[in-house]
Every structure is written in C-alpha cells, then in structure tokens.
Structure 1
C-alpha cells in the first residue's frame, strides 16, 4: 500500500537545507509511525512529496488527524510537522514547528486518542480540555494548583496527554498528579540538552472514571530548582480528552469509589506523597457495607539514597571501602512495599527498578528513556477476601510500609525501615453491589509467613590487607494466601488472594568500590480465586555494570546495561491491560477484515515484554569533555486467551541522541 502527499513549499527550503531524506506519518486514533521517503521537489506544484509504503492494515487509511513529521535523516532531528487532512485538502497547515529540539520518548503500546468532534464520529462527543499550562521553575513545595470541571458531554473514557519542553542544565525530576489527595499519575522528566528537548506522553485514565465525573482540585507536584547552575525551566502542558465508547466495546469495569491512602494534604494545596521511613503512611476509613470487590493499588519509587536500591549492600558492609569511596548505602538490595489492614498483612509489592533519565549514565536515555520512566507502574492487591470484615460499618486502618533487609554475617530478616526515601501512596478501588444490600461472609483466613532469605558475602583484600573486592548475594521467596467466603446479592462465593514471589541478587564491587556488577531478577504471580479470575505474572531481570573515576579536575562514568520487563495480565485488572485501544480502532475504521479478532470476548488478557540494552560513557574535565550513548529497545505486545497472538511490536535504536532505526509492526490480523 502506497500513499503520496504534497509537502508545503513554505517548509521546502528547510527540508532541502537539512538534506532531509525521511519522514514519518502518524495515523490516529492509534499512534503508528511509518517511515517514508521524500522525493525531489514537484515543480508543477512547488512542493516536495513524501511516499509512505507498507502501512499496515486495518489502520492504514489516514483520517483528518493524520500527521506527517519531517526529520533530518531516518527519524533524526525534527524539522516540522504537517496535518495531512486525509490527503484531500489543497491547503496545508503546518503544526509543531520544532527545529532543534531533541524528541525524547518512552516505548509503550498504542494509546487511543480520538479526534475532537461534535458527536458524529463513533466516539460520541469528543472534547479536549487543557488542565494545566505551567512553567515549573523554583517549585519545591509549590505545586501547580488548578480546578477541573467535567465536560458537559457524556463520556466514559479519558486520556491525558502531557507535553514538556526544556533546555539548559537540569536534573530529572519526579512529578505526581493528584485529584485532591489522590494520586492519579506518577511520571519523571527527561534531562535536557543545551539546545532543548520536548516530549509528550499519553495515558489512559478510565480506571479513575469515578473521579473524572466530579469536579476536582488538580495538584501537579513537579519540584524543580532554577539557579545559575541548573537553568532548565520545565514548560508543561497537560490536556485531557473525553470520549464515549459503546458499552459492548468496553473491556473494563471501573470502580464506584476511589479512596486515597496518602498523607491527605490536598486541602493544603500540597503533595500527599508519604516519604518513608520518616513519615507514617496510615489512613482510616469506614467503607460502604455493600462492597462486592475491593483492590488496593501501590505507587512507590525510591529516591535519594534509595534511587538505586537494587545496588545497595548489606548494612554490615557499608564501610567496606570507607577510605576510598566513602560509606555505601545499606539495608541490602531487596525491597518490599507492604499493605496492612488493621495490622493484618494484605499483600506486598516487590518493586520494578525504574531508572530515571539521569540514572547510571545519562547517555543511556537520549532520546529513548528508561522503561516506565514516563509512566511509573502501580501494583494491584486484591483485598476482596477482607470484605466481610470491612463491611461492619466501623472504621478500619490501612497502612503501607517500605521494607529492606537486616543482616548479620550469615542470616537476614525483614527490616521495616530503609534509607531515605521511598515515595509512596496508594488507593482503594471499591466496587459496589446493589444499593441497600449488605455484604456478609466469613472472616479472612490469612497465611503470610515472613520471607525466606539466603545470603552470602565475602571481602577480598590486596597484598597490604586493604579491602579490594566485595561480593554479596541474596535470594528471597515469599508466599501469601488469604481467603474467605462472601455473600452478596448474587449469592455466596469463595474468594481468595495469593502471591508467589522469588528474588535473587548478586553483586560484585571490585576496584575498591569504584566499579559494580549487579544481576537481579524478580519473578512473581499474583492471582485471585476463579470467581474473579485476575492473574498477573511478572518478571524483571536487570544486569548492570558501571564504574566511575574521579580526580581533582575530571570525572569519568561508564556503564553497560541489559534489563527486561514482562507483564502477563488476564482477567479484570483495575488498570487497563492495553487491549482496548487496539480493539476500539475498528470503530474508527470499518475496513477491518470480517472475522478478525474480537479482543473483548476472545482474548482475556495481554502480555507486555520489553527489553533494553545499552552502553554509555561520560567524561568531563577542566579541559573539556565527551560522551557516548547507545541504547536499543524491543517491545512486543500480544493478546492471550481463547485467541492469542502478537498485536504490536516496536524495535528502536539510538546512538548519541539520534534514532538510527525504528521498526513498528502492527499485527491485528495475525491473531488466531
């Protein structure tokens, strides 16, 4: 399949001077980018032309929102964009005239963003609101505060889109979006270049529909510092697009109520994140008596002394290289975020090691940012077995704790404190039975023994007896099973929540602590009983080698990295499983072949698998500096259930801030 578009002469000179040879076209409602080739100017029309071939069915035909992006080289420096207008309009509109900014991005599955309309399209009355347009300068303790009012049109889906541009020198910064005291999105910013960066990220928000239906106070906390050294002001825009899908096309049942587990500072126009262990994260609620399901989500990440928690050493070894590198960070490399209900352990999360864009070596993350860096994943804990206990009309406490490892020379145990700091919040998603009903049943039976640890450690010395190499390893397993019987208006049902977790970490710190080799892997399976049918299997190995050298006038940092994230989710997850945007694409384009997969009824889950590999180097001295970075990433997304198969694949590589290949394959028709 081949499409040819005219390029407006108003940007032809820019194209020519840059010797541009490539372009991409994005086809909405799903973001798909296909590489095309620019031809020589068409003298008759005073324009250039771009031909885009091999556009995948069934989403090939561009609609009124198709956009052509011009780049220098194959997906290199952006030069500008053009709305294609379904290739029917002779008048072209130039949008996003960016000439020198680096476009950062996170590799992720497609996101549905329909065109704004008046109700004549399949998505009803599509409305986009600007929620925030704000520049974050000296914003520590001073978040953006605004008001949200639901649109007048009816809607049952929401997608937010966050855009940021900045230039100069700045750290990566953590950002959290709240409705009052309830966290609804956690992200981090990309570190800028001298010329500047720009990026956008779109996120589905259907899980928070109960909140979007009501007026809310928006608090967007993005703590930044601007001074003579750190010059990057973070210019941001946040929009939300509201639309409706037919009931039969929806794959998710959303919660009726959402309650925050946070520091509850929304009334003071402040961030509600708990900073553990210095804060105590505990709330009390009297929950509705007619619950039929309840789920707690955990949002947690390490910062400061805990940002690279997976490289920490046992507390007994923190001073191994004190004379060389100073004290190391302790409490070991194992972490667990725990959920407690009235003192009973309800579930745990063994966190994924998010690496922000300043992490290890910054050259890794330009322009491909780390896995989940723009959208930190939350962990679901089903607390349905506690419903008979929680439906008594009394107040109950919900607490979260970040745990590490205590050790002596041969044994280890759980430590209920870590270094500073873990930033943690949670939410209770409440699903209600019929009004006026009261859920009853048996009290939960809880089996939650402490994790089982095995550790080993040794210190190698040089000929003078000085510590030269530290070797440590730790493995952990944990099993948790909670069950009860609940009785709702639908009848009596046995319900359960179980978690099976395995973990291993091996660390070698040679060269007197100036280098470190880390291998870690976490494997887990979380599931409910058959009545609910939710299962989440996950694995995230990481293999990282890095080193640094410092003199009075120079600094050298280098690193190699390989890591993977796999999520296999089936059943009624609270957070979208990624299938819906692909399924709903057929509403926008009825050319999908007859008999193709009905994802809602024939696929009950999805598998996301993504791997990053890279090498990076940084040198800075009073005489100058140099840096190098090379990162590749492959992501596959597939449906599982009665019909299975790969739906989407993207393989992308970058060297020294330039994308050198970017292959996207969309395979809706391949599922069998």
Structure 2
C-alpha cells in the first residue's frame, strides 16, 4: 500500500512522520566528544506512567465484563508509538533487489530481526531478513559457495525422540556459515514448543515455534549467522535437533522442519574462536540433547583447558519453563498463598532472576535475563502472525573469563557451574538470593577459546575478585474485602549489582592487565487485584558490561503486561496488553554477531561508507488481544492487534580500555529499519528500509484465530501453572 493511501483504512497512529515526531518524547541520547547528542530510541512502557500502587484496586467484575464487550465490539486497540532514529548508508551501484519464493498455500508467520548475509540462488552474496521481497544482492562471492541440507524432519509425537543425523563438512572453502530454518505446521491445533539444535554436546541454536491455525497451515523462515561456530563446521559432527511435541485428539499439528546451511567466503570482519568447549549434560553420545534442567540437575562440568589461551568467553543459554516461564510475574515467597482459596497458589521466589556462573566455587559473572514471551503467552492473539521479540532465536549472554586464565591454564581440571536464583524475602523488606527457583530452567553453556602461540604457556598473577552480594529491596501489601477475603496484592522488588574481576595475564606478546566488570539495575512492580484475576506487571532491567578485550555492552529491557481473566463454568476469557522493548548497544567484537557483519560486506563495495565500531539495536512491541476458550467443547478463539518497530544502526565511538571507561558514541548511521502492524491476524502495514532501499511488503493470507492454545501468563506460569497434558513440561 502506498504511504498516501493509509488514511483510507483509518489507522491514525501508523504515519511514519508522526511516529518519528514522537521520538523526541521517548528517546535518550548519548553525548559526543564535541558535546552534541546522538539520539538512541528508548521506548517507554505503555503503563509505566500510571500509578503503580493502586492502579487497579477499584476494578470490579462488571469492569471485566465491560472490557470484554468493548474488545469484542472494537476488535483492536492502538497504543501510543515511538519514533525512529534517522540516517542511512549510501547505496552502492552494485546493489540490486531480489525476491524469494514463498509457499502461497500457507500463512506466513514472521519475526522482525536484523538482516544476515547469505548466498542468493545465483551464487551472489545477499543481505536479507528472510522476507520474500527484502533480499539485497551486494557482491559476488570471493570463492564458490556451497549449500547443504542438514535436517528434514517432522516432529509429531516427539518427546524424548529428537532428530539425530550425521554432519560432514562441505567440499568447499568457507569462512562464513548461515542457516535457514524453515518450518511448516497445521492445519491443526498445537502449543508453542521449544527447540534446541546441537553438535554432539554443544548447543548451537535455541528456538521456539509459532502456533498453527485450526483451519490454515502456517510457515515461517528464520535465517541465522552461525559463523561463531566455524571451527565446529570444519569437522564431522552428530547433529541433534530436539523439539518435544505431543499429538492427541485435541493437539493435532506436527512441526515439519528443514535446516539448510550456506557456506561461503566474505571479508573477515569476525575472527571465530579456535575451540568451543561445551558445559552441558554431556548426553550427545546417547542421541539426546545435553541440556540441564535446573534445579533438578546440577548444571556443572569439570574441564581441563588448553594452556596457551589468549582469550576466553563463556556464553549462557537460559530459558524459564513451566512455573518459571513468566518469572517476571512471580510473587514474593511470603505471598504465594495470598489467593490460595480463589485464584490458587502463585509461583514464587519473587519476579527477580539471576543466572550465575561459578568457576571453582567463585562467582565469575551473572546474567539478568531478557523476558521471552512465547507465541502462546499472555494472549495468543498478540503473536499472530508477528511473533514476540527473539521468539525464533533465543539469544545467549556472554561473560569474559579472560581474567581467570592464570588459574585456568594450569593444566588441571576446573569446575564450571551454572545456577539460577530468585529471592527469599524476610520481614522488614529484606531479601536474600534464594539460590534456587521453581521448576524449571533449561541451561547450557560454552567456553569460546582463542589460542595463543602453540609453544606458549599462559600464566599470570593478582586475580582480584570483587563480587559483593546484590543490593535488594522488597515490599508487599495485601488488602481485603469486608468478609476478610484477600482482594489485592501489590509488591515491589528492586536490585542493583556490581561485579569486578581483574588479573595480570602473561601472553606471548607480553603481560596485560585484564578485567571484566558488570553494573546492573532492576525494578519490578506487580499488582494482582480482583482476587488475582486482574494483574499488572511493570519491569525494567538495564546494565553495562565492559571487558579489557575491547567489548562493551549496554542494554535496557522494559516490559509491561496487563491481563484481565474470567473463568466461569469452563469458559475462560482473557484480555491482555503487552508493551515491551529491547535496546542494546554493543562496541567491539562479541562472540556472536552484532548484526553489522552483512553491512561490513556491503561497505566493501561502497567506498563512501565507513566501517562502524559498534552497533545499536532498538525494537519495541505494543499489543492488545483477547482470548476465549471452552473446555467442554474444546474450542478456542483469539484476536488482537500488535505493532512493532525495529531500528538498527552502526555506531562510531571513542573507546579507552586503559581507563576502563565505557565508550562514547560519536555517530550513529541507521542501516535497517522496519515497522509492522498486524490486526486480527492480518498484516495491515509492513515497511522496511534496507541499505537505503524502501521496501513495502505485501501479505495476502491471514490467520483465522481459531484453535489457539494458551501456554501461560504472569502469575500462573506456563500452561496456567497446571500439569496440562501436552504443554509443560513441556516445551522441552
């Protein structure tokens, strides 16, 4: 649809000019060396400006009925939007647009994500986000490319039955690898499922599924840069794809999965690790995924590492499931029985979660996780056909363990342990780390190792470990109706954490002072009223990581979730609003791609474009949806409205590792942006800018909303906290 035609469908919030004008109200800035500011979008949660203490304490059952009526009548809701950062790279004369084939008989489901570099059908290199008409050919490959099909499998009744196959390296030269994951499902009904892909005991990829439609089949494609695992792709491996699914008279849909790999050569902007050492359950030899299930499993390995290491990075994959799926809505441990006679027991250990890495019993780093919402989460109509942020690619966090090399390179085994902690609260607003959680978290880790000269033995001294306990504050209040029944629960949690680890390491090039530092901040407010049937969660997690290896990251993850639930004689109805964002700025070279790698290849064809030293990603989603199901008739229906914006920029920075100061952004050049709006299963607007090209996506098919499966929501966990057959547990 042409931009000037938008008024015909009366979507008043969809004008790009209006969205950009709003950015002045909802953006932060970074100061340059000259004192100027560089705008970096920072979305504001929809509910964040509302009073958090007594917001919904006056709501009644009649209001619930009114909300449901209005939603059914209007069918959509358009919350406020924020703007983009302007700017684009010059276009190269060698760039041309191409199209990709789609399956016309299936509904396309998609995740908005930054483009990757892969191989076009004619053998040229292209930048694409997997969309049918958003592939930009930039340059012929430096060497002949090749492709392989790695997995073709249908996951039906597949619990405990992963796909197991043999991987052989391709017969071509390559320094880049990109995977294409394509999945079809339905028609039929099915829960969202979690999938993991492994080479032997090493996890490569963690994903989740969309939910099929009862009347229409669905299809999605996700492209992923796998170059970080280049060393593994050079040798024979056993590939294991685990996607637990269940088939019965209600849940009838299988997931038909294909993974193809493209191998090619491009400019070496990334130096992959020489070794990748798994920290996992080590069950790959049995044809099973090597995943830890915490707290049931002790997530630990004893490992002897090479003695000539010059850099070591530990990465962590952590996903909450079942009672831990919506940990951000979990109650304080002292409040879990507040609505025991009406709503039921609440999942506990607070809404705070910390994933911890211990080396030989000492804390080496932490992760405060990004809250994934799966496609059956909160209200399924939110995620049809645009899924939640990172739902198809659950990201890993990294911890630089280079300061530990004087210890780790002594030729002896060392223990690596992963744990997840919530909070135990005591009287007077005090809390301590619980060192455990409800069931359960799926964990694995990896050590990415870059080697020094073969004859060198890495050594060092003065390992300083400064890891004090986090600063924690909690409070809660329960109000009652006249008969003494608990009516409202309001609680708040805040946390701060500072870590600093340093040492002097002697490499073949000489001695170097190394360090890893983290600074984290967290706040959460939850309000349950109507005896638990109306809930509001407002959370924000932010932080900074800094390494002597030249890596720096700053992030902010705000999220707001509001739900109204009614359950009368087997008829469940839910109205939900979600507003959330993910803002990340990275400088230097992390283990996994920043997203700039494709544009580095584009820059090689465009002498007017300068290379960037960092990347800035800002994306937000606003959505509102309605869900109803009848347990007797085994039917369900959902509809809703979701919009998402993503802006991705290359940044120029000043970075002084000697002073251990965080880099300053001096310039930001936007290279990709996308805005998408879906209403009641139909994509109404989808516009993209890719390397200066404006692309209007056209979507023909739409979802029907029938047969949705609700997998969970805050305060009830996955599958509403019940041991529902075919759900959790679960997604594993």
Q: Paired residue for 1:203?
A: 224
Question: SS state of the match for residue 305, structure 1?
Answer: helix
TM-score, structure 2 as length reference? 0.76
Is contact 2:329-2:526 (8 Å) kept? Answer: yes
Q: Paired residue for 1:213?
A: 234
Q: Paired residue for 2:416?
A: 398
Q: Paired residue for 2:425?
A: 407
Q: Paired residue for 1:556?
A: 573
Q: Paired residue for 1:173?
A: 193
Is contact 1:163-1:201 (8 Å) kept? Answer: yes
Shift in CA distance, 468/495, structure 1 to aligned 2, threshold 3 Å? same
1:98 aligns with 2:104: yes
Q: What do the CA deviations read for 1:99-157 (whole angstroms, capped 9, x no partner)? A: 2x211111011111122567993241211100010000111011000011111111000
Please, which runs of 5 or more residues in structure 2 have no aligned partner? 3-87, 125-138, 654-666, 695-732
Distance in 2 between the 1:193 and 1:103 partners? 11
Distance in 1 between the 2:224 and 2:691 partners? 22
From 643, 647, 651, the counterpart of 1:640: 651
Q: Paired residue for 1:523?
A: 542
- How far the C-alpha of 1:282 sits from its partner, in A, is 0.6
Higher relative contact order (CA 8 A, sep 6+): 2
Distance in 2 between the 1:107 and 1:122 partners? 26
Q: What do the CA deviations read for 1:467-506 (whole angstroms, capped 9, x no partner)? A: 0000000100000000000111111110000000000000
1:501 aligns with 2:533: no
- How far the C-alpha of 1:668 sits from its partner, in A, is 5.5
1:607 aligns with 2:616: yes
Is contact 2:169-2:235 (8 Å) kept? Answer: yes
- How far the C-alpha of 1:58 sits from its partner, in A, is 2.6
Q: Paired residue for 2:115?
A: 110
Distance in 1 between the 2:236 and 2:142 partners? 23
- Within a 5 Å distance, the mapping from 1:59-208 to structure 2 comes to 66-67=98-99, 81=101, 96-99=102-105, 101-115=106-120, 121-167=140-186, 168-194=188-214, 195-208=216-229
Runs of 4+ in 1 over 3 A off after TM superposition: 59-63, 116-121, 621-626, 667-670
- How far the C-alpha of 1:252 sits from its partner, in A, is 1.5
Q: Paired residue for 1:93?
A: none
From 355, 376, 383, the counterpart of 2:394: 376
Question: SS state of the match for residue 173, structure 2?
Answer: coil
Bigger drift between 401-410 and 309-318 goes to: 401-410
Question: SS state of the match for residue 113, structure 1?
Answer: strand
The count of residues paired between Structure 1 and Structure 2 equals 576
1:572 aligns with 2:589: yes
Bigger drift between 615-624 and 124-133 goes to: 615-624
Distance in 1 between the 2:337 and 2:587 partners? 46
Bigger drift between 477-486 and 439-448 goes to: 439-448
Distance in 2 between the 1:280 and 1:366 partners? 37
Question: SS state of the match for residue 328, structure 2?
Answer: helix
Shift in CA distance, 650/111, structure 1 to aligned 2, threshold 3 Å? same
From 678, 700, 704, the counterpart of 1:654: 678
Distance in 2 between the 1:60 and 1:374 partners? 33
Is contact 1:365-1:631 (8 Å) kept? Answer: yes
Question: SS state of the match for residue 232, structure 2?
Answer: helix
Question: SS state of the match for residue 448, structure 2?
Answer: strand
Bigger drift between 509-518 and 250-259 goes to: 250-259
Question: SS state of the match for residue 602, structure 2?
Answer: helix
Distance in 1 between the 2:338 and 2:639 partners? 31
Q: Paired residue for 2:713?
A: none
Q: What do the CA deviations read for 1:523-564 (whole angstroms, capped 9, x no partner)? A: 1101112xx111011110101101211111311011001000
Distance in 2 between the 1:536 and 1:669 partners? 29
- How far the C-alpha of 1:620 sits from its partner, in A, is 2.8
Distance in 2 between the 1:147 and 1:449 partners? 46
Is contact 1:481-1:497 (8 Å) kept? Answer: yes
- Within a 5 Å distance, the mapping from 1:301-380 to structure 2 comes to 301-380=319-398
From 222, 229, 253, the counterpart of 2:243: 222
Shift in CA distance, 461/581, structure 1 to aligned 2, threshold 3 Å? same
Bigger drift between 395-404 and 407-416 goes to: 407-416
Distance in 2 between the 1:640 and 1:625 partners? 46
Q: Paired residue for 2:91?
A: 58
Question: SS state of the match for residue 613, structure 2?
Answer: strand
Distance in 2 between the 1:289 and 1:625 partners? 59
Is contact 1:386-1:443 (8 Å) kept? Answer: no
Q: Paired residue for 2:609?
A: 596
Distance in 2 between the 1:539 and 1:486 partners? 32
TM-score, structure 1 as length reference? 0.83
Question: SS state of the match for residue 388, structure 1?
Answer: helix
Distance in 2 between the 1:282 and 1:239 partners? 32
Distance in 2 between the 1:480 and 1:118 partners? 47
Distance in 2 between the 1:353 and 1:625 partners? 26
1:282 aligns with 2:300: yes
Distance in 2 between the 1:668 and 1:431 partners? 36
